[in-house]
Amino acid sequence: GAVVSQHPSRVICKSGTSVKIECRSLDFQATTMFWYRQFPKKSLMLMATSNEGSKATYEQGVEKDKFLINHASLTLSTLTVTSAHPEDSSFYICSATTGSPYNEQFFGPGTRLTVL
Amino acid sequence: AQSVTQPDIHITVSEGASLELRCNYSYGATPYLFWYVQSPGQGLQLLLKYFSGDTLVQGIKGFEAEFKRSQSSFNLRKPSVHWSDAAEYFCAVGTTSGTYKYIFGTGTRLKVLA
């Protein structure tokens, strides 16, 4: 149980284009989903927290207009990287939680984004 | 400020040797605590977690961790390392009030010598 999927697993795009990454909770309803970014050989940095039907809460320093997050249902959140540039290349990981009882997060396998 | 420190960036051990990875945290209350392992290019795999109760926690792959409140630590141990344990290990703190989120340590890269 508690499986989270991400699609695509890898994506390569040209500079200036937008890329959408999907995060799905497959066997549970997620009240909250999280998006992390991981640079090579670095730790995970929380980008934003999203609750179903609400606007996402972005961490300090994360451009909300660059990284658009939509959490339209209890099983799906999307991250859209708008007008991507090479510096946006990174490993993006999502997680989801039901909230109860310990707000435990279940992580997706990650999406490798490469912007040429 | 809330933070998680993994003092060792790299650790090298011989196969069969014991392992201890250190994790210290700064948090105003007793947090939830986690250890994850990540192989290159892969996602996170949960090794073990602590929410409450017994401070010695058993996990998968023969790992265990001990929560020491007085030291604000949650060190990960394994009595005998296997070559397949080579990976990046992350300690994480889950906040228990306010905005619920995880704070990750900087990671420890484990190398295993044959």
pLDDT in tens, B26-83: 998 888 999 999 998 889 999 999 999 999 999 999 999 999 999 999 999 999 999 9
- What integer pLDDT is reported at residue B70 of this predicted model? 93
Q: Which of A12-31 are b and which e, b meaning 16 or more Cβ less than 10 Å from the residue's Cβ?
A: ebeeeeebebbbbbeebebb
DSSP line for B5-35: E---SEEEEETTS-EEE--EEE-SSPPEEEE
Amino acid type, B98: G
Q: How far apart are CA A101 and CA A33, in angstroms?
A: 16
Cα distance from N-terminal residue to C-terminal residue, chain A? 37
Strand partners, A57: A49
Q: Which residues of B touch A (CB under 8 A)?
A: 32, 36, 41-44, 46, 49, 51, 88, 90, 94, 96, 99-107, 109
Quick one: how far is CA A21 from the chain centroid? 7
- Quote the tokens at residue A23: 């995060």
Whether A93 and B43 lie within 8 Å, measured CB to CB = yes
Say if CB B74 and CB B60 are below 8 A apart: no
Q: What is the mean pLDDT of chain A?
A: 94
Which residue has 């007793």 as its token pair?
A: B30
Set of chain A residues whose Cβ sits within 8 Å of the Cβ of B32: 102-104
Mean pLDDT calculated for residue range A95-99: 91
CA closest to A32 among chain B residues: B100
Whether B107 and A42 lie within 8 Å, measured CB to CB = yes
- What integer pLDDT is reported at residue B63 of this predicted model? 98
Q: Which of B42, B43, B104 sits opposite A43 (nearest CB)?
A: B104
Q: How sure is the predictor about A100, in pLDDT bands with cuts at 50, 70 and 90? A: confident
Q: Which of B88, B101, B107 sits opposite A46 (nearest CB)?
A: B101
Least Cα separation, residue B79 to chain A (angstroms): 26
Residue A43 predicted with pLDDT over 80: yes
Whether B102 and A49 lie within 8 Å, measured CB to CB = no
Set of chain A residues whose Cβ sits within 8 Å of the Cβ of B101: 34, 46, 49
Which one, of A45, A50, A46, lies nearest residue A32 by Cα? A50
- What integer pLDDT is reported at residue A72 of this predicted model? 84
What letter does residue A115 receive in the DSSP assignment? E
